[in-house]
Structure 1
Amino acid sequence: MREVAFIKQNKEKWLSFETAIFNNDFKDPDELASQYIHLINDLSYAQTYYPKSKVITYLNQLAAKAFQKIYKTKREDTNRIVEFWKTEVPLIVYEYRKYIYLAFAIFTLFTAIGAISAANDGEFVRSILGDQYVDMTLENIENGNPVAVYKSGSNWGSFIGITINNLRVGIISFVLGVFGGLGTVWVLFKNCIMLGSFQYFFYEKEVFWESVRGIWIHGSMEIFAIVIEAGAGLILGASILFPGTHSRFTSFKQGAKTGVKILISTFPFTFFAGFLEGFITRYSQEMPKFLSVGIILITLGAISYYYLIYPFLVRKRIQNQMLTFSPVLA
């Protein structure tokens, strides 16, 4: 059979199966398993007779999504909440990793723009941060504690206020993704310009490392989480702009569901960052350097591992299970 005829013969079946997978429209797990077997047969046929065809990539991806659905419908003793962070979120992050990478690229670009702008315009930092904040920081630098601002307020008050604000920023960043991702980019732009100019300000005053030891104790998780939330917003925007084979509304629902899961996954990191800012950062200048640097490396390493490394490990584990279940999925 010619490839065109093969695709034409099975196209409707594949699209129907794909729609059912995305919409959770399988009431009977046995039906899902049966459809999966048919899909595997088609994939095997395509690999044999059309080894260089793009249809193999499509069927592989569809088979992977179907396997995840079967895997999730199995009765397990594992706590659902634990499974959400242990398996479901990492698989989603892996599948949509290009949006996470894009968010990091945008973050890097905008932060660099903020720093370069501050370097070339003496009044830029004041226009971004405000005269009052800049004057207060200058006074703190003269007093030998560049990040003394984090000592203001009570521990609990700072923790609660900061955490609520960071959650608000993350949620707004995601929701504004509904405007084709432009709203998310705008939120990221404002925060990155502020971050870049803020850090350059300390560099210019020759207290850069002192600021790093203070700000990034909580900033590692706080900023990283904001970037991940921006990635979720970009997923939402892309679901509207690029619906693919689905209707725009169906694609939007899938994008919103996926994005919300990624957004929720950042909340524990945001809470912990708020705790660090409220209870630990204020003592950064008094604590030993190795301790402040250690906290930064541990927090940055933990969140980086979860979103940038762990998804590949989970994907590999699932793929190995897929190979055991069906050897044609190479």
Structure 2
Amino acid sequence: MREVAFIKQNKEKWLEFEQAIFGKAKKNPDEIASLYIHLVNDLSYAQTYYPKSKTVIYLNHLAALTYQKIYKTKREETNRVAYFFKTEVPLIVYNNRRYVLYAFIMFFIFTAIGVLSASKDENFVRVILGDEYVNMTLKNIDEGNPVAVYKSGGSVGSFIGITLNNLKVGAYMFIFGITGGIMTMYFLFQNAVMLGSFQYFFYEKGVFWESVRGIWIHGCMEIFGMVMECAAGLIFGAALLFPKTFSRVESLKTGFKSGLKIWVSTLPFTFAAGVLEGFVTRYSPDMPRVLNIAIILITLAAITYYYLIYPYKVNKRIAQPAK
């Protein structure tokens, strides 16, 4: 069957799915489950005969949303928090993976701009970070501890201040998606350029690896989380700019909910990064190198798996054709 004929044959049924998902047609969980069985069969057919078409993307998105609708109302679902992190967020990330990709691409581009700018202009780092901070870091380098700044202040106070700041930045990135993602990208630009120029500064002073061992103990979760918060803002912004087949209001509601859930999912990582920065990073120069590297690799692996690998596994599990 040609794809056009396949679409024409099933269009009305798919529209019924949309109405059920977005509450325009009242259906009980059993009816939605029945629709879901038909939907995954259509998805399986499309994946077989039109593997690279937009039809597959559309049906996969509907299947994920329908799945969430079913399991959100199941009586046996007792642990809403577990479902949220184990199923709901990974599905949202999978269905919006293009925005995750865009966020990472922009992050690397902006970081490269920071590196390049710092390499071409020795005063650039001072413009970005301020003379006081740069002079303090130079003093720390001369004293043999490039990341001594993380020892300043008490552990608890550092944890609270750092975590609150990171929460604020993440919230701004998401909420300002309402600008069509422009301000979201601006906040990412600010932070990525700062990171790139700061890391080049350490490289130029010959203490790059010493800085990596300190900064990235907490930085893996902090920076990765920031990129995901940017993706949340882009999803929100895209819902405003590109409503597709939905009304702009309905699209905006869906984009807001999806972005909000991704932002909420970053909170545990933000708190974990704050704990590491407040209580662990300060000891990085003195801890065994193996332990230092292990913390960096474990934290990077954990957040990478959750956002970049696990969503594909969850989607594969729910998109299996009905037997």
Per-residue CA deviations over 1:201-239 (Å, capped at 9, x if unaligned) read 000000000101111111110001000000000100111
Unpaired runs of 5+ residues, structure 2, are none
- Which amino acid is the alignment partner of residue 232 of structure 2? A
Corresponding residue of 1:261: 261
Per-residue CA deviations over 1:1-56 (Å, capped at 9, x if unaligned) read 99767755754553243133134854522332344456568x39976xx9459585
Unpaired runs of 5+ residues, structure 1, are none
Per-residue CA deviations over 1:249-302 (Å, capped at 9, x if unaligned) read 100000000000000000000001000110011111111111111111111111
Q: Does the CA contact (< 8 Å) of 1:91 and 1:314 recur in 2?
A: yes
| Distance in 2 (alpha carbons) for counterparts of 1:175 and 1:11 | 35
- Which amino acid is the alignment partner of residue 217 of structure 2? I
Relative distance call for 1:46 and 1:139 in structure 2 (3 A) is: closer
| Distance in 1 (alpha carbons) for counterparts of 2:50 and 2:141 | 63
Q: CA RMSD in A?
A: 2.6
Q: Does the CA contact (< 8 Å) of 1:147 and 1:215 recur in 2?
A: yes
Q: Does the CA contact (< 8 Å) of 2:140 and 2:147 recur in 1?
A: yes
Corresponding residue of 1:88: 88
Corresponding residue of 2:288: 288
Corresponding residue of 1:217: 217
Q: Does the CA contact (< 8 Å) of 2:64 and 2:315 recur in 1?
A: no
Per-residue CA deviations over 1:181-220 (Å, capped at 9, x if unaligned) read 1111000000000000000000000000010111111111
Q: Does the CA contact (< 8 Å) of 1:173 and 1:188 recur in 2?
A: yes
Q: Does the CA contact (< 8 Å) of 2:71 and 2:77 recur in 1?
A: no
- Pairs within 5 Å for 1:202-241: 202-241=202-241
- Which amino acid is the alignment partner of residue 214 of structure 1? G
Structure 1 residue 186 and structure 2 residue 204: aligned?
Answer: no
Corresponding residue of 1:31: 31
How many residues end up aligned between the 2 structures? 321
- Pairs within 5 Å for 1:5-24: 7=7, 11-23=11-23
| Distance in 2 (alpha carbons) for counterparts of 1:44 and 1:202 | 51
- Which amino acid is the alignment partner of residue 219 of structure 1? G
Q: Does the CA contact (< 8 Å) of 1:46 and 1:56 recur in 2?
A: no
- Pairs within 5 Å for 1:46-195: 51-52=49-50, 54=53, 56-57=55-56, 58-195=58-195
- 2:245 counterpart SS class: coil
| Distance in 1 (alpha carbons) for counterparts of 2:156 and 2:204 | 33
- 2:81 counterpart SS class: helix
| Distance in 2 (alpha carbons) for counterparts of 1:118 and 1:66 | 49
Relative distance call for 1:163 and 1:187 in structure 2 (3 A) is: same
Relative distance call for 1:161 and 1:234 in structure 2 (3 A) is: same
- Which amino acid is the alignment partner of residue 292 of structure 1? N
What TM-score results when the alignment is normalised by the length of structure 1? Answer: 0.89
| Distance in 2 (alpha carbons) for counterparts of 1:169 and 1:15 | 39
User: Which segment is superposed worse, 151-160 or 6-15?
Assistant: 6-15
Relative distance call for 1:139 and 1:230 in structure 2 (3 A) is: same
